[in-house]
Amino acid sequence: MSGHVNESMDKGSIMDSEDRIEKMVDIYVSAEAVRDMKHKKDKEDFDNQTPKTQTPQHTGSDPVRNRSSRAAAVCLVLLCVLLLTAVIVLCVTFTQERQQFISKNENLTNEREQLILKNTNLTNEREQLILKITNLTNEREQLRNELQICVGWIYYQSSLYYMSKEKKNWTESRRYCTERGADLIIINNREEKDFVHNTSGNAVFYIGLTDIDVEGTWKWVDGSTPNSFSFWASHGQIIEPNGGNGQVEEDCAVTVAVPKLPEWANLVGWLDVACIEQFQWICEKRISQFILP
């Protein structure tokens, strides 16, 4: 009994529910109809109010076209951004490379100037070296000549002395000395006189003393006059210089270490003789003359 009651109640509930659903559908359809009619009316009113122009026919593909246009615009903007970025990067890169090129060019210019300066300095040094070599060559030749002159010479107290073996007159004797950068000996002190006498033996030598310019005024070949020291020979009434016997002028001087000639018996020291007579001679060359300026 109760089962039949429940079934009756369930069936009633189901029917009520179906009625309510049908009513809701009818209401929704009616609302849609009203909305469509209102939209249509509003559209007609808008068409009546606006000038009639031929409007393009819209199809269902318009939204797709709009989306495609927007996508194309976005792509174009992105492409422009990429291009602008690339241009900026290229400009920055070009500017940096340009600055590097300018810096390299300046460095190369400086290096070029330095090389030119170095080349100029090397050229000057080369010229100086050539000049030094030339001077050294000349000095070598001069020293060679000096060494050739010094063969057979004797060193004493900063001077070189040459005592000849042959005989010449006073003028030729002096010429022999001057051709070798020397001159006839100038005896300045007793030590030098003793040196000459100790090395000359019994020979008679011309020395660089003469009064050929002014009679009675004796001078050395360098123009100086004998100092307080002199070694003129004297014995008894014979006192040198005596000017000779009057027939021949005795204007040149010789030095005698050992008396051996009858006419010069016991005479040791300086004697005046005729300059044309033949005697050996002594040349003197100062060591300072070897020192080149």
Q: What is the pLDDT of residue 205?
A: 95
- List CB contacts of 279: < 8 A, sequence separation 6 or more: 167, 168, 170, 173, 204, 205, 206, 254, 273
Question: In sequence order, what DSSP letters do the residues of 211-256 get, joined into one string?
Answer: -SSSTT--EETTSPPP-S---B-EETTEES---TTSSS---EEEEE
Q: Which residue has the tokens 């660089």?
A: 208
CATH of domain 154-287: 3.10.100.10
Q: What is the pLDDT of residue 30?
A: 59
Whole-prediction pTM value?
Answer: 0.51
Q: What is the pLDDT of residue 181?
A: 87
Q: What is the pLDDT of residue 67?
A: 75
Q: What is the pLDDT of residue 2?
A: 47
The domain ranges of the chain are 1-49, 67-151, 154-287
Q: What is the pLDDT of residue 277?
A: 94
List, as own/partner pairs, every contact residues 230-238 make where C-beta atoms lie below 8 angstroms and the sequence separation is at least 24, other chains included.
230/270, 231/187, 231/190, 231/193, 231/255, 231/269, 231/270, 232/269, 232/270, 232/271, 233/264, 233/267, 233/268, 233/269, 233/270, 233/271, 234/267, 234/269, 235/265, 235/266, 235/267, 236/266, 238/267
Residue by residue, pLDDT tens for the chain (293 residues) are: 444 444 454 555 555 555 555 555 455 545 555 555 666 666 666 566 655 544 445 455 667 677 778 888 888 888 898 899 999 999 999 888 888 989 889 899 999 999 999 999 999 999 999 998 998 888 777 766 665 556 788 888 888 999 999 999 999 999 999 998 899 999 988 899 999 999 988 889 999 999 988 888 899 999 998 876 778 888 777 778 887 666 678 899 999 988 776 777 788 889 999 999 999 999 999 877 655 44
Question: In sequence order, what DSSP letters do the residues of 16-75 get, joined into one string?
Answer: HHHHHHHHHHHHHHHHHHHHHHHHHHHHHHHHHHS----PPPP-TTHHHHHHHHHHHHHH
